[in-house]
Amino acid sequence: MNRREETLIPKIGVITDVRIDTPDIKTFRVVTPDGKKAFDHRPGQCAMLSVPGVGEAMFSITSSPTNEEFMEFSIKKCGCVTEWLHQAEVGQQITIRGPYGKPFPVDDEFAGKNMLFIAGGVGLAPLRSVINYCRHYRDRYGKIDIVYGSRSKDDLLDYREIIDEWMTDAGVDVHLTIDREEDGWDGHVGFVPNYVKELGFDTDKTAVLCGPPIMIKFTLDGLVSLGFDKTQIYTTLELRMKCGVGKCGRCNVGAKYVCKDGPVFRCDELDELPDEY
C-alpha cells in the first residue's frame, strides 16, 4: 500500500566530494546512490539535508541547475547538523529532499538585465548557483558585476573558482574585499556596504544580495542611496524551518512562509512584511 507521495520522506544522498573552502565552511557534493542528481532545481532553491539521529536542516543549493551531474552545498559549521556534516567523509550517506522555495526569476525579471551580485561571507553560497547559471547562459544577460567580501582572505568562499573562472570571463567583473588588512592581500580592504558605495554602480542593474543581516541592511541602504529602486533588488532570507512546505509554521513571517514563498524576496516585498526576519 502507501502509494501516496510524501514530501517529508527523503531520498538517500551520498557525499561524493568534500572541499574545504575556509576554516569553517566546507562544500559537499551530493548525488543519489546510483550516481545521479537527486532532483532538478532552479537557482536560489533549497534542499533539506538530514543526518538521521542528528536532525534535518535547510540548505541552499550552491551548484547551478546547469550542472547535470551533481548538487553542491556550501555549509558553514554552526549547529548540530552542520557540525556533524563537517566531520563526515566521502561515501557517507545522508538524506535529501526538495527542491523547496521560490527561485530567483532568472528567466523572467532577470532576463536581459545587467546583473549585480553582492555577497558577504557564506552568503555567496546561494548566489553561486544563480551566478553560474547566468554565466552559463551568458548571452541572456547583460554585464555581470560581483562584489564579494568576507572577514579575511581565508574566509573567501570558492576562491579558486572565482580566480580561475569568474575573473577570466568576458563581461564579468569581480570586486573582492576583506574586512581587515592582511599580509598577502593587495585587493580592497573594507566592509561590503562601503565598497558598494565606493564602486558607485549605475542603476541600470538588477541587484541580488545575500549575507549576514547587518550587511544586507547597510548594503540595501547604500544601493537605495545610489538611486536603486527596491524593485530592482533581490535578496534571500533564512529562518528556522522544519517541513519546507509551509505547514509547520516555523518560518512564518507576516502572511509569508520563507520556505514556500521565499527564500528569494524582492526588497519591496520585504517592506510589506513585519520586521521579524
17 Cβ contact partners less than 8 Å away, ≥ 6 residues apart: 28, 29, 90
- Specify the 3-state DSSP secondary structure of 102: strand
**How would you classify the pairing of strands 25-31 and 71-76?**
antiparallel
Q: How far is the CB of 49 from another protein (least distance, A)?
A: 12
Cell numbers representing residue 272 in the block: 510589506
Choice from 34, 68, 89, 183 touching another protein (CB under 8 A): 89
Q: How far is the CB of 184 from another protein (least distance, A)?
A: 29
- 214 is a contact residue toward another protein (CB under 8 A): no
Site string for another protein, 8-47 (x = CB under 8 A): xxxxx-----------------------------------
Q: How far is the CB of 77 from another protein (least distance, A)?
A: 9
- Specify the 3-state DSSP secondary structure of 222: helix
The number of helices, as runs of H, and strands, as runs of E, in the chain is 7, 15
Answer for the pair 147, 118: CB distance below 8 angstroms, yes or no.
yes
In the chain, what's the furthest Cα-to-Cα distance?
64
Distance CA 178, CA 192 (A): 8
- 95 is a contact residue toward another protein (CB under 8 A): yes
Number of residues engaging another protein in binding (CB under 8 A): 48
- 225 is a contact residue toward another protein (CB under 8 A): no
Residue 2 or 184: which CB sits closer to another protein? 2
Q: How far is the CB of 63 from another protein (least distance, A)?
A: 22
Cell numbers representing residue 194 in the block: 562601503
Residue 80 or 163: which CB sits closer to another protein? 80
Beta bridge partners of 172: 144
For residues 233-262, which are near another protein according to CB under 8 A?
238-240, 242-243, 245-255
In a 13 Å sphere around the CA of 37, the CA atoms on its Cβ side amount to 18
Q: How far is the CB of 30 from another protein (least distance, A)?
A: 13
Q: What share of the chain is helix, strand, coil (3-state, %, to 5)?
A: 25, 30, 45
Choice from 92, 179, 191, 194 touching another protein (CB under 8 A): 92
Give me the residues that bind another protein (CB under 8 A), please: 1-2, 4-12, 50, 52-56, 78-80, 82, 89, 91-95, 238-240, 242-243, 245-255, 272-274, 276-277
